[in-house]
């Protein structure tokens, strides 16, 4: 298991619920494939090394931006074990273990904990466009998961689940379920929801976090966010924004956010999960930027615009592998 000391060295502090064990930038690690659609584990480990070298406070694996929806169960387990072994506690790692079944989610989460995960991230139980559970069943889902674990749970409040999670409900889970203490807010009006969550949950909300590739990062910091799960292309550009804000350098943080916002827009609004892999391929970090079929590649002109925007900012990703 990742030690608290390692987290503290990377920008986190304290231990225990309410004491901010984990703060900072935890980019999503993309899943790297060959052109034929096979896992490319050599590129995968180079990707991890780049993200650590670029100053990430921690990492997140098997998230939606990792194309987790295209992976088999065996591949998920292989990636979890191999990445955590390769990281070797250099930074804390959050493992996504979302599943509709509480039993399978618990099994996935226990294996991740045993392999060294510092935290797990889970969406509420859902399937397809219409299958949802009641609020009380959702509460019981997370309570059962908490009882099975010794590490924090991050609730991923994302539109993709199609499940409304009010700030009041999230705060109740924080107060009443031991390991539920981190919240990644990706819904519309994220800053307002973060403020309400913090107001209602108090110290039980150990980690109010930003998401969506940092496109709402500065407003969310103003609302009280202490961490952000971003895309993986340029943590060296994003970490100083959060570092400056948490250190009280508000105007420096704002200027940094405004400087990087055009590239954030390209990732969040134009290229999606492939933006990170395009930048990593361009900089020699990984061999292929290909997704798995039927996920469509980025339009060549959009790809060109992403690269040109990145070049003006000179992120490490474009130089790391050359």
How many whole angstroms separate alpha carbon 79 and alpha carbon 204? 32
Residue 11 above 80 pLDDT?
Answer: no
Contact in structure between 195 and 179 (CB atoms under 8 Å):
no
Residue 19 above 90 pLDDT?
Answer: no
Q: Is 112 among the domain residues?
A: yes
Q: Is 9 among the domain residues?
A: yes
Instruction: Name the DSSP class of 208.
Output: E
Q: Is 271 among the domain residues?
A: no
Q: CA torsion 69→70→72→73, rounded to 10°?
A: -20
Q: Is 35 among the domain residues?
A: yes
Q: Which helix (H) or strand (E) holds 215?
A: none
> Coil, helix or strand for 48?
helix
CATH of the domain at 210: 3.20.20.70
> Coil, helix or strand for 24?
strand
Quote the number of domains for the chain.
Answer: 1
- The pTM for the full model equals 0.94
Q: Is 150 among the domain residues?
A: yes
Give bridge partners of residue 207 from the DSSP assignment.
182
Q: Which helix (H) or strand (E) holds 181?
A: strand 180-185
Q: Is 119 among the domain residues?
A: yes
Residue-wise pLDDT for 164-222, tens only, equals 999 999 999 999 999 999 999 999 999 999 999 999 999 999 999 999 999 999 999 99
With pLDDT > 90 as the criterion, what percentage of the chain qualifies? 93
Residue 118 above 70 pLDDT?
Answer: yes
Q: What average pLDDT does range 51-56 have in this prediction?
A: 98
Residue-wise pLDDT for 219-252, tens only, equals 999 999 999 999 999 999 999 999 999 999 999 9
**For residue 69, what are the domain limits?**
4-249
Q: Which residues contact 308 (CB under 8 A, 6 or more apart)?
A: none
The pairing of strands 59-61 and 93-96 is parallel
Q: How far apart, in Å, do the first and last CA atoms of the chain sit?
A: 33
Torsions phi, psi for 205 (to 5 deg): -90, 90
Q: How far is CA 195 from CA 171, 199, 210, 243, 246, in A?
A: 11, 6, 12, 20, 16
Question: For the residues of 216-265, what is the DSSP string, one character each?
Answer: THHHHHHHT--EE---SS-HHHHHHHHHHHHTT-HHHHHHHHHHHHHHHH
Q: Choose the catalytic residue: 17, 184, 193, 281.
A: 184
> Is 17 a known active-site residue?
no
Residue 1 above 50 pLDDT?
Answer: no
ω before 261 within 30° of 0 (cis)? no
Instruction: Name the DSSP class of 28.
Output: B
Instruction: Determine the pLDDT at residue 20.
Output: 72
Token pair listed for 37: 């659609």
Residue 208, phi-psi category: left (phi > 0), alpha (psi -120 to 50), beta (remainder): beta
Q: Is 319 among the domain residues?
A: no
Instruction: Determine the pLDDT at residue 10.
Output: 36
Q: Is 97 among the domain residues?
A: yes
> HSE on the CB side for 222, CA within 13 Å?
13
Question: For the residues of 116-173, what is the DSSP string, one character each?
Answer: T-SEEEEPPSEETTTEE--HHHHHHHHHHHHHT-SS-EEEEE-GGG-----HHHHHHH
């Amino acid at each position: 298991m990742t030690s608290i000391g390692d987290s503290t060295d990377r920008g986190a502090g304290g231990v225990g619920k309410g004491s901010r064990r984990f703060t900072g930038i935890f980019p999503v690690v993309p899943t790297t494939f060959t052109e034929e659609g096979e896992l490319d584990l050599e590129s995968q480990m180079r990707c991890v090394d780049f993200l650590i070298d670029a100053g990430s406070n921690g990492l997140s694996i098997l998230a939606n931006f990792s194309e987790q929806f295209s992976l088999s169960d065996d591949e998920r387990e292989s990636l979890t074990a191999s990445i955590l072994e390769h990281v070797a506690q250099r930074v804390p790692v959050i493992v996504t273990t979302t599943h509709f079944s509480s039993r399978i989610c618990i099994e996935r989460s226990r294996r991740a904990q045993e392999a060294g995960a510092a935290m797990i991230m889970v969406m509420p139980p859902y399937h397809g466009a219409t299958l949802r559970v009641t609020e009380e069943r959702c509460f019981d889902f997370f309570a059962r998961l908490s009882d099975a674990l010794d590490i924090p749970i991050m609730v991923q409040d994302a539109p993709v689940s199609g499940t409304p999670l009010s700030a009041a409900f999230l705060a109740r889970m924080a107060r009443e379920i031991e390991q539920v203490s981190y919240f990644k807010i990706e819904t519309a009006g994220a800053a307002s929801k973060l403020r309400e969550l913090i107001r209602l949950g108090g110290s039980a909300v150990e980690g109010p976090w930003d998401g969506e590739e940092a496109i709402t990062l500065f407003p969310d910091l103003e609302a009280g966010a202490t961490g952000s799960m971003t895309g993986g292309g340029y943590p060296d550009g994003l970490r100083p924004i959060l570092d400056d804000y948490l250190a009280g350098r508000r105007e420096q943080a704002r200027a940094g956010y405004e400087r990087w916002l055009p590239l954030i827009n390209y990732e969040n609004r134009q290229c999606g999960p492939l933006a990170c892999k395009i930048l990593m391929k361009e900089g020699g970090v990984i061999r292929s930027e290909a997704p798995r079929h039927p996920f469509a590649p980025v339009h060549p002109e959009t790809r060109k615009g992403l690269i040109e925007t990145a070049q003006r900012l000179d992120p490490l990703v474009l130089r790391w592998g050359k």
